Amino acid sequence: MEVNEQIAIDHGLKKEEFTKICDLLKRTPNLTELGIFSAMWNEHCSYKSSRLHLKKLNTKGKKVIQGPGENAGVIDIEDDDAIVFKIESHNHPSFIEPYQGAATGVGGIMRDVFTMGARPIANLNSIHFGSPQNPKTKNLLRGVVKGIGGYGNCMGIPTVGGQTSFDESYNGNILVNAMTLGLVNKNKIFYSKAAGINKPVIYVGSRTGRDGIHGASMASAIFDDKIEEKKPTVQVGDPFTEKLLLEACLELMAGKSIISIQDMGAAGLTSSSIEMASKGNLGIELNLNKVPCREEKMTPYEIMLSESQERMLIVLENGKEAEAKKIFDKWNLDFAVIGKTTDSKKIELFFDNNKVAEIPINILAENAPVYDRKWKKTKLPQKIKFNKDDFKKLKITEVLKKILSLPNISSKEWIWQQYDHTIMGDTIQKPGSDSGVIRVHGTNKAVATSVDSSAVYCYAHPLTGGKQVVCESWRNLISCGSSPIAITNCLNFGNPEKEKNMGEFVECVEGINEASKFLDYPVVSGNVSFYNETKDKGIKPTPTIGGVGLIKDYKKMITMDLKKQNNLIIAVGKTEGHLDQSIFATNILNEKKGPPPEVNLFNEKNNGETILKLMKEGLINSTHDVSLGGIITALSKMAIKGKKGFKLNKLKVLINKFDYYFGEDQGRYIIEIEPKNLPKVQKILKDNSVHYDEIGIVTEKDIIVDKEPIIHIDDLIKSNKNWLLEYMDK
């Protein structure tokens, strides 16, 4: 087939990009070469619309071993231990084929982690679906959850945390973000940078098929009515093979034969070979006849662009081929020497004794397009002047029961019960808490981790929303007694060619960076997902933050469940009563305008560090950060977890009780303490200039608010748990 401009456009390239390719090559590319360019120059691989802004992110820190630019980020957790972690999207595939899309998303992120020599120890996910009333939502939710559980459970890796939300902006584009943590000796980390000339290039894992071709290019595509035609671009996963691949790779890594290793993820053999060569400033030569294929008569184009799963590319030391083959034969995996490194600084492909492609590496990598797209700043909305007379007919307890039963607040136990969260025996805080916590096997240390996003806040004001989601991650880690170390991000946005969407991205990144710097909470890895848009309707901006923190002694871990009758309940942090964009405003008052709550980074840091001081002194029995739904919602979740009640004191504040209980001011925590410890707690809070309110006590079973009817804890549990169960049973 003779390549022309239209064929290039059909491959997802712009007219001007095709012209640039021809100019750089000084000729027209053949079809295989065009396919390689389309893969390497798409958004997923080149970050052409985001690279300028991502460079601004804070990526340095005392505990950062490896920041962005590798398969995953790496942080030091002391005693020669390190955590490798990353989050990535699999949005488009999961919308087209929810089970395989979600499953291969989990498989792909795990490979990113064990490629670096780490054994995966925990999975998390952030999944977002359209309105519950949308006819597709239920089936998409069921398929995605089964896919996540099916792959992770088979791999024997616990899923310890996650986040699920519903919003009509995801009706045409659901989001599936998968995160994995792995444990590695910090002196035995493996990287993707190739080195040396005439070193053997090894293919290992599953055979190559025709599934997933153009999967990476789909990341730059907008959906339309022909979505069903894209099903062949979705990869098919096999977790049992991936388990074998994990064990075989780790066994080979125990020796000294690997120079570099790279997962064949997006764009398959194309991206893995080119990225390894580019990082090492080398060339690479591949004989495609030697690539193990499971289908007959595969062309060079298909072999290079296939995204078949469970595959790795390795550069070995000379003379180590037989040793490596023995290991992969033992694990019943394909092994083939398919090429070598060269000094040509080109990728050269051979098939049937003919050279079928020859492209300078720098054209594919360094010369990939970088766009400084136009963007529009979002104005901070004016605050809403609520009519407080509307509050008079409301009862706090009735409002509370309604809020606890909302789709985005209700218990997600139906989801996480389908994930194995206890396998490996080191999960010490399971899903449904502020953070998942995993003990570092054989030590007293534990790692805390969480995923967070806030599309509502980011849509209202991206700069503030970007800051907020980092702070939310920070608070969730602190709430379980861990010291936050670093974050990974998955930045989900609409079409970047639209100024509004691009502005949302730029300002969210600015907000993330500002909070990351102030909190000393660096970004060490991540992913950008653009073009989450169907029929000109895009998603709300949804940056997802995955955080990791360290608990030096897991016995000092804190949980959120209320512990003991007559213990005191204290709200830490100043409550101003911000209702704009709150769950209360949007769902009770039907008011969806206004700004998100302001983020005071000094207070966030000071309040969080003071909470850790209280924990260090053993003064906190339980804690939970205050987020969606405000103080009373946070406290109710603590009550539900502990199957206890609470009695709230008469407020000694100047603001309306609805403002106080349902306001979503940031930087706040609810803590439970023993009465005898109150003087010590008060002193530490005052010494650190932290505002606090003594708001009530723990009761045996009853929820008592002012003079309103008493609610039994069982009624609160029922309100919180039933929505999702009933929704999925209908």
How far apart are alpha carbons 593 and 586 in whole angstroms? 8
In this structure, what token pair is assigned to residue 77? 């957790």
How far apart are alpha carbons 250 and 54 in whole angstroms? 32
- What count of other Cβ atoms lies within 10 Å of the Cβ of residue 332? 9
CB 35 within 8 A of CB 11: yes
In this structure, what token pair is assigned to residue 232? 């062949």
In this structure, what token pair is assigned to residue 606? 């000071």
Distance of CA 318 to the CA centre of its chain: 38
How far apart are alpha carbons 227 and 477 in whole angstroms? 39
Q: Is the dihedral of CA 339, 340, 344, 346 positive or negative?
A: positive
Collapsing DSSP to helix, strand or coil, 270 comes out as helix
DSSP class of 150? H
Beta bridge partners of 283: 342
Is 142 buried (19+), middle (13-18) or exposed (0-12) by CB count in 10 A? middle
The one catalytic residue in 11, 53, 90, 578 is: 90
Asked if 53 is an active-site residue, the reply is no
How far apart are alpha carbons 545 and 453 in whole angstroms? 6
How far apart are alpha carbons 433 and 624 in whole angstroms? 9
CB 315 within 8 A of CB 202: yes
By C-alpha distance, which of 443, 553, 435 is closest to 484?
435
What are the residue ranges of helices labelled H in 79-224? 91-96, 98-114, 137-155
How far apart are alpha carbons 318 and 505 in whole angstroms? 46
What is the rounded (10 degree) CA torsion for 183, 189, 190, 193? 130
CB 604 within 8 A of CB 471: yes
DSSP class of 619? -
By C-alpha distance, which of 308, 402, 344 is closest to 100?
308
Asked if 44 is an active-site residue, the reply is yes
How far apart are alpha carbons 438 and 181 in whole angstroms? 10
CB 556 within 8 A of CB 449: no
CB 681 within 8 A of CB 694: no
How far apart are alpha carbons 41 and 263 in whole angstroms? 19
1-40 burial, b if ≥16 CB within 10 A, otherwise e? eebeeeebeebbbeeebbebbeebeeeebbbbbbbbbbbb
Q: Which residue has the tokens 């003991």?
A: 564
- What count of other Cβ atoms lies within 10 Å of the Cβ of residue 714? 12
How far apart are alpha carbons 40 and 51 in whole angstroms? 14
How far apart are alpha carbons 538 and 401 in whole angstroms? 32
CB 416 within 8 A of CB 721: no
The one catalytic residue in 11, 44, 461, 578 is: 44
In this structure, what token pair is assigned to residue 186? 């910090």
Q: Which residue has the tokens 């909302």?
A: 406
By C-alpha distance, which of 568, 559, 599 is closest to 692?
568
Just list the catalytic residues: 44, 90
